[in-house]
Amino acid sequence: MPHLSLAQTIAYILSQILGFYIWIVIIAAVISWIEPNPYNPIVRFIYSITEPVFDFVREYLPTNLGGIDFSPMVVIAVIWFLQMWLLPTLGNLLTPGYGYG
């Protein structure tokens, strides 16, 4: 296995954290359908780390169409873009001696 540069390692770690956050977003969306006990510490934790991001998306994009909130889908799409394009590109650009082929 080739040695990864520091930039590639950081990009990999950030990608893993973003992947974990995608699952948190999915869980938050499912929880919003079943309306759990709002005093449950797990529910409060999930809402505390997802609602600020959802609110930011809701502020700048019309994500509520026909009573359905699409902000979790927008967040997942942005995270997917970061994971699939931006992080690998930055990791490769910051690696000295990186070349094509």
pLDDT tens sequence across 53-85: 999 999 998 877 888 889 999 999 999 998 888
- Asked whether the predicted pLDDT for residue 1 surpasses 70, the reply is no
For residue 98, tell me if it sits in a domain. no
- Does residue 100 sit within a domain? no
Instruction: Tell me if 99 is assigned to some domain.
Output: no
pLDDT at 100 > cutoff 60: no
Give dist(CA 75, CA 3) in Å, integer. Answer: 32
The one-letter amino acid code at 43 reads: V
| Predicted model pTM | 0.81
Evaluate whether 21 touches 79 at the Cβ level (below 8 Å): yes
Q: How many domains does the chain have?
A: 1
72, 26 Cβ separation under 8 angstroms: yes
Separation CA 65–CA 97 (nearest Å):
48
Which domain covers residue 77, as residue numbers? 6-93
Mean of the pLDDT values across residues 9-32? 92
Any residues with CB less than 8 A from the CB of 75 and at least 6 apart, and which? 25, 50, 53, 54, 57
